[in-house]
């Protein structure tokens, strides 16, 4: 693959993303697989423990309290471990794409090693991102939910809905639309933060700000990448998981056959997610390099360093020190 540093058209950007995915398929699937394997194991265990065949409908509800407490603690531990593994997978993918742009041959061990060295900033970045997106959703829904709670008596049987309740319902629909649009827009602006923090000596907050600057004029490409990755993921789900889900519904989830069909559907669904997850991660890493070429002339910077006496012939461009921030 010739991953030369130059401005790309939209079609070239998507073609490069899928070419990297196709030529290094096993590598990138391996980089994104640890969190998928953990998720699969946890899901299969939960499905087994909560299946109708394992639960006694006539048992005392209070006897389930120890199980529920243990399950709650296990879920918290699972979420934390899954978060760490997912972030490491994203960072490793960015490192591997950087090696390819530097005309180096990436491998899983070196990519995971690079990601582990940056796991702290990456976790802080994703936490900040989640808090910001969650804050936007909370701000959008605060007023309509407050109105609905204030008009709680209006929803009693036989009571006429009050003006406050009607206003709350109307605002709730607009809030859902506004939150969806804002979260998608913010996610697009933050899309390059993972490769920025992974490949540059910056922290989480600086990574978000840098991504906002680098995505200027490139949001359409981020949106197209999200659409393509989503379509591929759903297509994989339809092919690999849906037949078993339909079979489970037909025979009944409470039957033994339905239980095993559900287990197979869970396994194939996770496999589909694992096979398609690298596409978006590769795409944002490719776009990161193109954004630096467009906004910061990274291609000229790398060429100058390579031509300098004693300069390396093929440095990974993302690992080079970032230039001064773009003007606001």
pTM surpassing 0.75?
yes
Find the range with the poorest average confidence among 66-70, 155-159, 214-218.
Answer: 155-159
Phi-psi region of 217 (alpha: psi -120 to 50; beta: other; left: phi over 0): left
* Predicted local confidence at residue 328, as pLDDT: 40
Residue-by-residue DSSP string for 100-163: HHTT----HHHHHHHHHHTHHHHHHHHHHHHHHHHHHHHHHHHHHHHHHHHTGGGGSTTPPPPH
For the cut 70, the answer to whether the pLDDT of residue 187 exceeds it is: yes
Structural domain includes residue 157: no
In whole angstroms, give the CA distance from residue 231 to residue 26.
Answer: 21
* Predicted local confidence at residue 327, as pLDDT: 42
In whole angstroms, give the CA distance from residue 132 to residue 186.
Answer: 9
Find the range with the poorest average confidence among 74-78, 133-137, 259-263, 300-304.
Answer: 300-304
Tokens of 327: 């003007």
For the cut 60, the answer to whether the pLDDT of residue 58 exceeds it is: no
Find the range with the poorest average confidence among 50-59, 96-105, 139-148, 177-186.
Answer: 50-59
Mean of the pLDDT values across residues 283-288?
94
Structural domain includes residue 84: yes
Structural domain includes residue 140: no
For tokens 């950087």, the residue is: 98
Structural domain includes residue 257: yes
Domain holding 252, by residue range, is 10-53+68-129+217-319
Structural domain includes residue 181: no
- The DSSP letter of residue 4 is -
* Predicted local confidence at residue 48, as pLDDT: 75
Tokens of 95: 């490192």
Structural domain includes residue 186: no
Structural domain includes residue 147: no
Number of folded domains that form the chain: 1
Structural domain includes residue 85: yes
In whole angstroms, give the CA distance from residue 129 to residue 137.
Answer: 12
Q: Is 6 helix (H, G, I), strand (E, B) or coil?
A: coil
Residue, of 64 and 247, whose pLDDT is higher: 247
For the cut 60, the answer to whether the pLDDT of residue 225 exceeds it is: yes
In whole angstroms, give the CA distance from residue 24 to residue 96.
Answer: 10
């Amino acid at each position: 693959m010739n991953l030369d540093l130059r401005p790309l058209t939209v079609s070239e950007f998507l073609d490069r993303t899928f070419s990297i995915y196709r030529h290094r398929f096993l590598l990138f699937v391996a980089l994104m697989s640890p969190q998928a394997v953990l998720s699969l194991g946890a899901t299969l265990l939960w499905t087994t423990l909560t299946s109708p065949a394992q639960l006694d409908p006539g048992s005392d509800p209070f006897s389930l309290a120890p199980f529920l407490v243990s399950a709650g603690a296990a879920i918290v531990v699972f979420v934390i471990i899954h978060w760490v593994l997912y972030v490491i997978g994203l960072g490793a993918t960015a490192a591997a794409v950087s090696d390819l742009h530097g005309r180096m041959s990436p491998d899983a061990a070196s990519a995971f090693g690079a990601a582990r060295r940056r796991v702290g900033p990456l976790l802080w970045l994703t936490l900040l991102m989640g808090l910001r997106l969650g804050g936007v959703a909370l701000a959008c829904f605060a007023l309509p939910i407050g109105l609905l709670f204030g008009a709680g008596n209006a929803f009693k049987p036989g009571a006429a809905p009050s003006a406050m309740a009607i206003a709350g319902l109307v605002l709730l629909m607009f809030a859902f639309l506004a939150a969806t649009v804002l979260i998608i827009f913010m996610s697009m602006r933050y899309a390059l933060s993972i490769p920025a923090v992974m490949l540059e000596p910056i922290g989480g907050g600086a990574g978000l700000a840098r991504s906002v600057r680098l995505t200027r004029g490139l949001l359409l490409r981020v949106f197209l990448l999200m659409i393509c990755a989503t379509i591929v993921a759903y297509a994989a789900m339809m092919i690999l998981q849906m037949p078993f889900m339909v079979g489970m519904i037909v025979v009944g989830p409470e039957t033994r056959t339905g239980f095993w069909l559900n287990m197979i559907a869970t396994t194939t669904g996770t496999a589909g997610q694992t096979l398609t997850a690298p596409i978006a991660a590769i795409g944002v890493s490719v776009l990161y390099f193109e954004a630096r070429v467009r906004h910061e002339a990274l291609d000229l910077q790398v060429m100058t360093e390579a031509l300098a006496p004693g300069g390396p012939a093929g440095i990974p461009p993302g690992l080079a020190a970032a230039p001064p921030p773009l003007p606001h």
